[in-house]
Amino acid sequence: MTQISALLRAGRTFSFEFFPPKNDEAQAVLARTIVELEPLAPSFVSVTYGAGGSTRERTRDLVVQMRHETKIPPMAHLTCVGHVHQEIEDIIAAYVEAGVENVLALAGDLPADGTDSPPSDYIFATDLVEHLRSISDMCIGVAAHPEGHPRSPDMTSDRQYLAAKLQLADFATTQFFFEAEHYVRLVNELADLGCTKPVIPGIMPVTNLSQVQRMAAMSGTEFPTWLHDDLATMKTPEEVRRVGVEAATRLCAELLEAGAPGLHFYTLNRSTATREIYAELGLPVG
């Protein structure tokens, strides 16, 4: 196994994000997606974690499956919400036993159904990172928001908090965004604070306009007028998808030109858009 920090030191990384399937049909879709993406030889894959740890077992099962059945290093998401120290220690012990070496430490979201989340020993992602550092030698990633975290009071404090978090972690992956200038500004502002840890930009190709608009609104990501207008004039879902993938391809090219240490694709458990971007950019494959 290889830690992501070592992969980043060796060169650019290209990685994918999956979410745990909720039923047999979704499991079959994801299994097919993994088969289709594995020939691209991704540097690593990450597996998300539901609000309040609601997909903890499914996340663990998928991460361990990836570890044992593929050659792709998996990164498991962990959240502060709904967890106490002993639970995190038990989760990490199970991952270590399975040979998993990478985790992404997140604050996490409250349950969407409005129910109370279980008690937590953590307030901020930094608290979780500090605990993880004290109990393991895992490579630890954190999240970054190029346009600011939705709960940040202002951009100055957002960047200061992120820089402090990154001092404890090994790298960051960003929330998705649609214009390269947001990423470049983020990296420059972190550098001004003395933080030069790798920040991998997250890419979300628009294959369904309403779905991505909804996700952007939840994450505080601006959906540019020019992109909305381009997509809104398309008459079929196929045309929307084509324009969305073209826009994501241009964004990837701009980010690589700007010196990004890699690209992290939010796949939504599908492979086609990612494979098309890979082909258009001529990215390395296995």
Output DSSP code: residue 40: G
Non-local (6+) Cβ contacts of 33 within 8 A are: 18, 267, 269, 270, 271
Q: To the nearest 5 percent, what fractions of the chain are helix, strand and coil?
A: 50, 15, 35
Give whole-number Cα distances, 178 to 55, 202, 223, 231, in Å.
28, 10, 7, 13
238 annotated active-site: no
> From the candidates 17, 38, 101, 189, which is the catalytic residue?
17
Q: Angle between the 237-257 and 180-192 helix axes, to the nearest 10 degrees?
A: 30
Give whole-number Cα distances, 197 to 126, 186, 200, in Å.
15, 12, 10
- The set of catalytic residues is 17
